[in-house]
Amino acid sequence: HGPPAPAVSVPAPDVAGLTAAEAKAALDRAGLRIRPSVGSAAPNAANAHRVQSQTPAAGSPVAAGSEVKVVLFAAAAAVETAR
C-alpha cells in the first residue's frame, strides 16, 4: 500500500469584494469550502454583504477540501438618500 498520498494543495482564490454567493462559487470551483462570518459595517451600500477579508490570504496554498474563512461586510451603517 505504501505511504498515504500527500494532501493536494490549491491556491486560495481572491474573493475580496465578491458577494457571498460569488465567493462560494469561486471557492467551490477551487475545491474549497466557505466559512462565512459578518464583520464591520460596510463603508457604503455598494459594499454591503460583500467580502471584506479572507483567511488564508488569496494565493496562499490551502489543502483541497478545507475551509476558507470569509468575513462579509454587514449592511451599511448609514445610507445616504439621493435628493
- Cell 505511504 -> residue: 3
For residue range 55-68, list pLDDT tens digits in order.
999 999 999 999 99
- Nearest-angstrom CA–CA distance, 19 and 55: 16
For the chain, give the mean pLDDT. Answer: 90
Whether residue 28 is predicted with pLDDT greater than 80 in this model: the reply is yes
For residue range 9-27, list pLDDT tens digits in order.
999 999 999 999 999 999 9
50-52-56-58 Cα dihedral, nearest 10 degrees: 70
Q: Kindly list the distances between the CA atom of residue 57 and the CA atoms of 14, 16, 52, 74, 79, in Å, as whole numbers in the listed order.
A: 8, 10, 12, 20, 30
**Percent of the chain whose predicted confidence (pLDDT) is above 90:** 80
- pLDDT at 76 (0 to 100): 80
Higher-confidence residue of 65 and 2: namely 65
- Nearest-angstrom CA–CA distance, 57 and 45: 25
